[in-house]
Structures are given as C-alpha cells and as structure tokens.
Amino acid sequence: MCKGFLCFDYVNSNVYDESPWRGKLNKTIFVTGSVGFIGFWLSKQLLELKFNVVGCDNVNDYYDVKLKESRLKVLEEFQDYVHYEVDIKSKEDID
C-alpha cells in the first residue's frame, strides 16, 4: 500500500488514489520518456485506463530510434495522447 500518492497496481490494472487530494485529481498525467521502455508501457496502461496522457521524449539514439518511433505510433493511436518531442534538459525546448 502506498501512502500519499497515485499508485498503479500493474498486476490488477488498478489505480489507487491514496493522496490527500483523493477524488479531486485531474485525469491528465505527464510522462517523461514516454517512448522509452518504462514510459511507453506506463503511458499505454494509463491510456487504456482512460487517463489523458501528455508524453514527452526527445527520441534520442540511446537505443534503436526505430523502436521508439514504432512505440510512438502505438501511443498516437489513442485519442487521449499528446506528444511533445523535446529534451527536458533543454530550457529552450521547455520554453
């Protein structure tokens, strides 16, 4: 059990709101690294649970860019997904 956070149970595909603002959460989640391994699967699960997801990823060449691009195509099939190709370390990109 987590305390004070929005928690996701991967096994049962449930989201638990244990935060002090329980029931008042906007259903929009910001995911950095959204086409990387963890970010992709997290974004996909949240979208399947009817959350709105704003994803950002700079789609760098740390590993196969084609794999990242194919993950992005999957996420963009969801109406509730918005993607920004930015580097969060770059102040210019964020502004």
Does residue 4 carry a pLDDT above 50?
no
Does residue 56 carry a pLDDT above 80?
yes
- Both tokens of residue 6? 């929005």
Does residue 48 carry a pLDDT above 60?
yes
pLDDT band for 2, please (50, 70, 90 cuts).
very low
The residue whose two tokens read 């995911």 is: 31
pTM, entire model: 0.72
Average pLDDT (73-79) is 97
| CA 86/CA 50 separation, integer angstroms | 24
Higher per-residue confidence, 20 vs 77: 77
DSSP 8-class letter at 83: E
